[in-house]
Structure 1
């Protein structure tokens, strides 16, 4: 396994998006999708504080959090990454996209890049994701990416796991 942090923060590139490190100039565009421990940011200051915690988690080898950048503008339109389990050879994959960019294939590309990185670079043995039972678009995305439902959880949540064979 090759856990974070890395000597150079990994940038991953697809046809329409790239996954890159979030910088201070990006924060203002991400307030509505900035979360930490299930709490949403309400200001640039709160989003900045959350990003500082996310960066510390990365520095401690506990996660990797990318901004999803539209390749035409380099504007961050969402985030994705692995947020827990890395020390056990597993990764919980999470993602969120700004509403104006949903339904255009950006998240599918981002998740494919993140999955490939998790399997081939970090060498994860298991990749999983948790969403709510009512988030039909997330469920559809996970199933399209070869995840299978493995558990019903509390608080109306369900767990999916990547099927690798």
Structure 2
């Protein structure tokens, strides 16, 4: 099942941030948060190889990975996207923020844009997220975005699911 158009990568614009495709020219700035399959890139070359895999995952309809861009500086401050479950009409939402932007509200707006896009443009029926039990900031972010805890996993993670406050995102159209 393909849930979005592949002829152009979706650009999503909000008040303070936008979500856009990550470009090769962004990779130097994203080394701190360049991951694929939980492995961090150690070089720009590795980051480019990982980004190529991420781009192919998008073309295959398996994920969508955005850079979160601050409008005032045109700088990528983090990334977010849907990484699993799209073949079932659902999506695992994940995010990473560059450390110098912690606590400034970027991720709340970026994730809100991703949620709205997932519900209203991709037609997702379920959105969930997982984080480490020790990741207090991620837990607070998910709760602020109306996710509720649904499970503790054996891998020391907590799973969250977006619950019926979904109507707030449908009204963002």
TM-score (norm 1): 0.97
1:138 alignment counterpart: 138
Q: What is the aligned residue count?
A: 165
Question: Residues 148-163 of structure 1 correspond to what in structure 2 (within 5 A)?
Answer: 148-163=148-163
Question: Residues 51-70 of structure 1 correspond to what in structure 2 (within 5 A)?
Answer: 51-70=51-70
2:82 alignment counterpart: 82
**d(CA) in 1 for partners of 2:77, 2:143:** 22
1:107 alignment counterpart: 107
1:26-71 CA-partner distances (Å, limit 9, x unpaired) = 0100011011001011110111110000000000000000001111
**d(CA) in 1 for partners of 2:43, 2:36:** 13
**d(CA) in 1 for partners of 2:52, 2:76:** 17
Stretches of structure 2 lacking an aligned partner (at least 5 in a row)? 166-173
**d(CA) in 2 for partners of 1:77, 1:83:** 19
Offset at 1:164?
2.1
Runs of 4+ in 1 over 3 A off after TM superposition: none
**d(CA) in 2 for partners of 1:115, 1:56:** 22
Instruction: Give the match's secondary structure for 1:58.
Output: helix
Instruction: Give the match's secondary structure for 2:121.
Output: helix
1:124 alignment counterpart: 124
Stretches of structure 1 lacking an aligned partner (at least 5 in a row)? none
1:56-105 CA-partner distances (Å, limit 9, x unpaired) = 00000000000011111211111000001001011000000000111000
TM-score (norm 2): 0.92
1:9 alignment counterpart: 9
Q: Which moved more, 1:71-80 or 1:139-148?
A: 71-80
